[in-house]
Structures are given as C-alpha cells and as structure tokens.
Amino acid sequence: MSDKKTFYITTPIYYPSDNPHIGHAYTTVAADSMTRYKKMRGFDTYFLTGSDEHGQKIQRRAAEAGKQPKEFVDEIIANFKALWEKMEIDYDHFIRTTDDYHMKTCQELFQKIYDQGDIYKSEYSGWYCTSCETFFTELQVGEEHICPDCGKPVEMMKEESYFFKMSKYADRWLKFIEENPDFIRPESRRNEMINFVKQGLDDLCVSRTTFDWGIPVPFDNKHVIYVWFDALINYYSALKARGDGSLYDKFWPADVHLVGKDIIRFHTIIWPIMLMAADLPLPKCVLGHGWVLINSDKMSKSKGNVVDPFKLCDKYGVDAIRYFLMREMGYGLDCNYNEELLAVRINNDLANDYGNLLSRTTGMINKFQKGIIDAPGAGTEYDQELIDLARAMPDRYAALMDKMEWANALAELWTLVNKANKYIEDAAPWALNKAGEKEKLATVLYNMVEVIRQVTIMVSPIMPGLPTRVWQQLGISDREDLHTWDSLTWGGMPSGIAIDRGEPLFPRIDLDAIDAEEIPSAKSDVKAQVETESIAPIAPECMISDFEKLDLRVVKVMECEKVPKTDKLLKFKLQLGTEERTVLSGIAQFYSPEDLIGKQLILIANLKPAVIRGIESKGMLLSAEKDGKLQLVECPNMPIGSRIV
C-alpha cells in the first residue's frame, strides 16, 4: 500500500443531448488542471468524468432525431471524448450511466434506502422542467409557468411516484454544514443553501412512470429511477463497483465535486442526504463555479451563441484556451467570453508577458553569450528583489491553487513574470554587454532563465503542452529533475547549457482579423452593434481634479437583500477593508439578491451618506445604464479596497 496522500476529483457527468461547448470545457479543464497540480505535489489522484444518459430529455431528443436513445447518445459521447482528448484532459475514468455496473449499484442503493423505510410510494402532482430534469412548485414557476433556472416552459406532471424522505434529514444536514464550513464553496453559495434548507425540505420524487428510458426501480419495474438520483450515484459506483473495490477503499469520499452554480443544490443538498440515508461517508467539498457567459449572455442553442471549443482550440491552440478559461473565471463568479477578449488575454499574458520574456532571454543569450547560459556571479542592484519574489512564489501560488482559486493563482504567478520583464528593463543587459560587464550580464541572463523555468513548472498543470516546448528552448529537455515542483528552489538551473532558440510560443493575434462568421460571438458582432447605435450626449468637459474628488473603490458583496415593501431597493452589506458598509441601490428589478453575493463591485466610497427608508446608505454602486437596461460594474480580479484611478 502506498502512503501517498490521495485526491479524488469529479466533474458533473454531462447530458449527451448536445455536443460539448465551452462551458463544459471550463469545468473539465479546471478538474484536469487541479489533478495535474495535485499529482505534481505528490498526491495519488483520481479524476472522474462521464455522461448522464437517462431521462425524459434524452429520450425525447433521441426520438426527435429518429434514433434509439443509446444510439443517439453514443454519437454525442464520441464528440465529448474527442474534445477531452484534444484538450489534453487526462481523466482516469469516463463513466456512462448506461454502464451495467452503475445501473446495478444504483438499484442496490435504491433498494437499501427503500428497505430502511426512507422511500415510499405516493402520487406526484406538480411542475417539471424536462430540460433541467427538475421538479418545481407552483410558487417557483410563477403565473407564466416558466422554469426559474432555464426560462423554458415547464410541464404539469401528475403520476404515481416513489418519494425519498429528504425532509427527515434537514436537521442532520444543517448540523453537518455547520460542522463542515468548507463543504460548500464559495461561502456565498453555502449561505444560499443554508437559507434554502432552513425554509424546510420537501420529500423528493425519485421515480417516473410516464416514460421508460431509465434504470428500473428494482422492486417495481413500472417505474424508472429519477435521473438525478441515478446520476449522482455515478461518483460512488465508478469506484465501488469497478474492479476489486480497492479504488473505493483508496479514494472515497471525494475531495471535491466540481460543479456549475446551476446544479449546486443537487450536489450539496440531495447528494449528501442520499449518502446519509445510505450510511456512506460524505464528500469533503462541493465547489460551485460560475458560468462562461457569451457577450454577458447565457449560452443557448436557440440564441445561436454556443461556442464550439474544437474550433477555438484549432485556431488558438489548446494551451491558450485552457489558460484563458482558468485565468478569466474569478472564484465563484461568472466570466465573460467573446473572441476578442480571448485574443486580448492571449496577446497580453501569453504573447507579451510570458512569450516575450522567453524570446528576449533566449535572443540575448544567443547574441551576447553565443547561445550558452553562463554561470551567475556578482550581479546588479536589481537582482535581490526579483530573487526574493521568485523564492516566495511557490508557496504563494500553492496556497491559492490549494484553495482552487485558479484565476487568483495565475494572477499571482504573473506578478513574477511581470517583475522579470521589469527587471530586464532595469538591469538593461544590452548596456551591460556594451560596457563589457560580462559577469553582471551572465547573472542577469541566468536569473531570467531561472524565472522562466520556475514559472513554467508552476503553470504546467494549466498549460500541459507548454513545458516540452520551453524545455527544448532552454536546452533541458532531458533533465526531468529540473521540471518538478521539488526543483523550485532558486538557482536549480545549471549553467553551461546550450539553448535552442525556437519560434515564438504564442504569436500575437491580429484583432482586426477576427472573423465573427467562423466562431460565434467573435468581436465583430459587438462591433456592428456598437457602431450603429446612437448614444446619449456626452456631458460637458471636466478637469481631472473633478474626477479625483471621487474615491472609487473595489468592494465585495457580503450580504444582499430586498428592502421590504419596496419594488426597487436592494440593501447591500459591502466589505471595504476592515469596514462593512451598508449601501442601498435601486436595482432590484435587474438582479436577484442571491446572484450578487460574492461579486466585486465599484463603490463611490466618499459620497455623503443619505438616509433612505430609515436606513443610512454610505456610498453608491456604479452601474451602466442604457434604454432601461442596467448592469453593475464589476471588478472581479482586484483586491478589495483597490482604488479606481
């Protein structure tokens, strides 16, 4: 038996009703990056993904396509697998809920929970969204009978069903959440779920009779098991029911279920209660991430804005797409995608910051030192600061990676890349060369190489294709000992090595050449829209000193609720340094309070306080407004308290 620490991570299992899109790619890249990172840190890892193949939605979609469900999903699953291969997703197992071992395990658990009296037969009468495969109450669907999650019409469902006694477990769940503060992350989602359960839990309908594409209830085959009850069990059956059970012994329970915010309720309420009922250990953490939005809008087939990740990878390279996704999505927040944003990110971070650092370094080593990395000696006054930052970076980066704050981890790592670029400007190796300062020159070039080596190791879980190309250029392809996390001690790079300068790793993208036809939601859609619309007249000229009177700061929403008996007002509790501010804003018709928790917004922090409805409001939140539409201005990736200048 190995005494290595273990790490079990899962993505949701995707519905193979449509081909994979960039949103699916986000979760899977995040899980893959995290797995690679943990592996690099010496963990024994297990990474599970797969497909959720039963239920009414799949059955209907297959019928529309004139196919049997299994035949229908087989084709789509082949596309998912092809994408994962293309994106260098190195999963350990791809589970299909139609796999025999899963179906058997699912029936066994259903039977077990039934035998102990937690599943009973009754009749369900209520609303159902087939697209989300979710039951809703009258109150939730409103007068228009629209799904509160996806906005599609819901259907009235009235049929005999088995029910799972969720209500019985509410108190135990609340106690568990209280004792395990890190189980639901981020915290804003945790609070949302606690509020939900505190309002009382209904028993859950866990079988259907009006269609047959599902796993039969073992003791009543007129019923098939509700697709979510079936699907959640995948995380368990993939380990427990395959092989000799040793996978289960080694990896259960999961360290993290990575899921999108739309399915957090299933994973943090239904799933743990199922496990409590089955007397199984609960996962350690469910991390709910935001959505990849397309030009600030939800992706949907009917809007025609679904982005095909195959095309993106072909055009920009897998490493760049993986980097973009992991850098752009702030912890627990949504991120915006359009092709121009992608290209700007690639140009700035990869072509300019990282790529230039490498090409300038190898270029100067070629030019000034005949292509050899010389040994460092007496250096310059600029060295120490760079070396101190590089020495501190592995711990700083690891702390954020361990918390799964990937965007922050990359932003932190790039402070070292940027420092190294500044170091080149300050130390000016070209001047040292001219002045014949050979030793100083060798030191500066060595330090640059060492920073590149260390950054490349740290970023390798996110861009797994990158290191091979960089090691080739630095002449250390065969020195595997220099590619590991453990080699991240300053000065590990040997001298006397011949470099092999290659092509730029990330060529700059010409923003004007981005073609909207090729991949939906490229920049020209935006451009066309902006250029043809008239805007309100610009206000009279002002002085910079007028602007400077305003103290604009980045704040974080800690709490948000509607002000009773008003239509428009939301009351915010905002974090600003050590201070917690109360601010009112008349934007209730544009936002649900729970969607704002955790967001970073911009506050006019020195506005004279005003008392509205008896509440003192200290400041004003910035938002953009046009033609009755409104959007708060966000600043997701800067520290709280940052000044807007």
Neighbouring-strand partners of residue 93: 48
Tell whether residue 90 is a contact of ligand MSP (CB under 6 A). Answer: no
Distance CA 342, CA 340 (A): 5
What letter does residue 168 receive in the DSSP assignment? G
Instruction: Out of 7, 8, 12, 572, name the contact with ligand MSP by CB under 6 A.
Output: 12
Tell whether residue 95 is a contact of ligand MSP (CB under 6 A). Answer: no
Crossing angle for the helix pair 383-402 and 438-459, nearest 10 degrees? Answer: 0
Smallest gap, in angstroms, from Cβ of residue 464 to ligand MSP? 21
Smallest gap, in angstroms, from Cβ of residue 175 to ligand MSP? 24
For 562, residues 6+ apart whose C-beta sits below 8 A from its C-beta are 569, 570, 571, 588, 593
Tell whether residue 15 is a contact of ligand MSP (CB under 6 A). Answer: yes
Smallest gap, in angstroms, from Cβ of residue 229 to ligand MSP? 10
Smallest gap, in angstroms, from Cβ of residue 90 to ligand MSP? 19
Smallest gap, in angstroms, from Cβ of residue 92 to ligand MSP? 17
For 621, residues 6+ apart whose C-beta sits below 8 A from its C-beta are 572, 583, 585, 587, 601, 602, 603, 604, 632, 633
Report the residue number, 269 or 455, with the smaller CB distance to ligand MSP: 269
**Binding segment for ligand MSP among 21-29, 136-144, 516-524, 606-614 (CB under 6 A)?**
21-29
Smallest gap, in angstroms, from Cβ of residue 326 to ligand MSP? 13
Report the residue number, 50 or 467, with the smaller CB distance to ligand MSP: 50
DSSP H helices in 41-156: 56-64, 69-86, 100-115, 138-141
Tell whether residue 72 is a contact of ligand MSP (CB under 6 A). Answer: no
Distance CA 639, CA 556 (A): 9
Footprint of ligand MSP on 26-45 (CB under 6 A) = 26-27
Site string for ligand MSP, 251-290 (x = CB under 6 A): --------xx-xx---------------------------
Smallest gap, in angstroms, from Cβ of residue 163 to ligand MSP? 20
Tell whether residue 313 is a contact of ligand MSP (CB under 6 A). Answer: no
Could you tell me if 49 and 31 are in contact, meaning their C-beta atoms sit under 8 angstroms apart? yes
Tell whether residue 131 is a contact of ligand MSP (CB under 6 A). Answer: no
Other CB atoms within 10 Å distance of the CB of residue 85 = 10
Instruction: Out of 34, 204, 256, 292, name the contact with ligand MSP by CB under 6 A.
Output: 292
Would you state the torsion angle of the CA atoms of residues 14, 16, 20, 21, taken in this order, to the nearest 10 degrees?
-70
Report the residue number, 24 or 327, with the smaller CB distance to ligand MSP: 24
- Tokens standing for residue 381: 């006054």
For 570, residues 6+ apart whose C-beta sits below 8 A from its C-beta are 560, 561, 562, 563, 584, 585, 586, 587, 588, 591, 593, 596
Smallest gap, in angstroms, from Cβ of residue 22 to ligand MSP? 7
Distance CA 33, CA 367 (A): 37
Could you tell me if 254 and 272 are in contact, meaning their C-beta atoms sit under 8 angstroms apart? no
Tell whether residue 7 is a contact of ligand MSP (CB under 6 A). Answer: no
Neighbouring-strand partners of residue 256: 9
Residue with tokens 């409001």: 617
Report the residue number, 62 or 432, with the smaller CB distance to ligand MSP: 62
Tell whether residue 308 is a contact of ligand MSP (CB under 6 A). Answer: no
Distance CA 207, CA 124 (A): 10
Tell whether residue 299 is a contact of ligand MSP (CB under 6 A). Answer: yes
Widest distance between CA atoms in the chain? 89
Smallest gap, in angstroms, from Cβ of residue 260 to ligand MSP? 2
Task: Give the H or E element holding residue 319.
Answer: helix 318-328
Of residues 342, 369, 317, 370, the one with CA closest to residue 505:
317
**Binding segment for ligand MSP among 18-26, 75-83, 238-246, 612-620 (CB under 6 A)?**
18-26
Footprint of ligand MSP on 209-238 (CB under 6 A) = 231-232, 234
589 three-state secondary structure: coil
Instruction: Out of 34, 35, 52, 313, name the contact with ligand MSP by CB under 6 A.
Output: 52
Task: Check residue 499 and give left, alpha or beta (phi > 0: left; psi -120 to 50: alpha).
Answer: beta
Report the residue number, 52 or 405, with the smaller CB distance to ligand MSP: 52
| Size of the residue set binding ligand MSP (CB under 6 A) | 19
Provide the binding-site residues for ligand MSP, judged by CB under 6 A: 12-15, 23-24, 26-27, 52, 231-232, 234, 259-260, 262-263, 291-292, 299
